[in-house]
Structure 1
Amino acid sequence: MNNNIIEYCLLKKGATKEYPFGPDPLVIKIAGKMFALIFQDKTDQWLLNLKCDPVIAENLREQHEAVRPGYHMNKKHWNTIIIDGSLPESDVFIMIDHSYDSVVKTLPKSLRESLTGIQKL
């Protein structure tokens, strides 16, 4: 796995690294909610599950061979990205941003404000 991807996920404000299912997969959460899941398949290929708006998810799957419906996830709201070098790292980072933002917007307002730094005066 490209450690840059894990490091990028963990740079997100409030992100935590957990192993709730044993030594594999690595789950990255914000406020107890998963936004990234990183694991290897039976062929030792690295996979990254990310939350995604359903319309965007479908478009990404149509545009990229390495983007597929979420493996063992709600296929409407999650994509699995095959980390094989076919997608530029910058594109993967954009998908991570979208996943993080998708989860943050579902959090209670006070928690959202503490993560985004937006506060009312």
Structure 2
Amino acid sequence: MDEQQVEQYLLSKPYSAFDYPFGPEVKVFKVKNKMFATLALGTGSEKDCGEKMAGFYCVNLKCEPEEAIMLRDIFSSVIPGYHMNKTLWNTVILDGSVPQGEIERMIDNSFQLVVNKMTKKDQQSILVHL
């Protein structure tokens, strides 16, 4: 998936929208004002993973801790969440090595994890659209 496909898929989620609270280079995707993803171009200046991220768009996604580790073991382009809680977030480097279906599944999972923490009323208003 490229960054446009990822952005389109993120925005297909009910009540999803994005803004730029961290500046114009990082799109932050939210559901009912709760962040479930970020999308930005890797600049190569990132410590420890700059070479991997340079020139590629990267998406940060929330994840269960055990699954986060498993995904990092399976895919070399899935790394601990850049500028995020590394236990709960993964960064997926959009270099074409992670299958589209797997990226979509990770997005769905991130979205659902955030929705699950919302009030029952907010959950119901979102889940009726899934």
TM-score range relative to shorter protein = over 0.9
Identity of aligned residues (%): 39
Q: TM-score, normalised by structure 1?
A: 0.93
Aligned equivalent of 1:47, options 42, 58, 63: 58
Structure 2: unaligned runs, 5 residues or longer: 44-53
Structure 1: unaligned runs, 5 residues or longer: none
Deviation at 1:80, TM superposition (A): 0.3
Deviation at 1:2, TM superposition (A): 2.9
| Deviates most, 17-26 or 50-59 | 17-26
Matched residues, number: 118
What does residue 29 of structure 2 align with?
A: 28
Q: Provide Cα deviations, 1:22-52, integer angstroms capped at 9, x if missing partner.
A: 2110010011111010011212221110000
Q: Which runs of 4+ in 1 moved over 4 A?
A: none
Q: Provide Cα deviations, 1:36-79, integer angstroms capped at 9, x if missing partner.
A: 10011212221110000001101101111010100010000000
Q: TM-score, normalised by structure 2?
A: 0.87
Report the Cα distance in structure 2 between the residues aligned to 1:51 and 1:2, rounded to whole angstroms.
18
What does residue 50 of structure 2 align with?
A: none
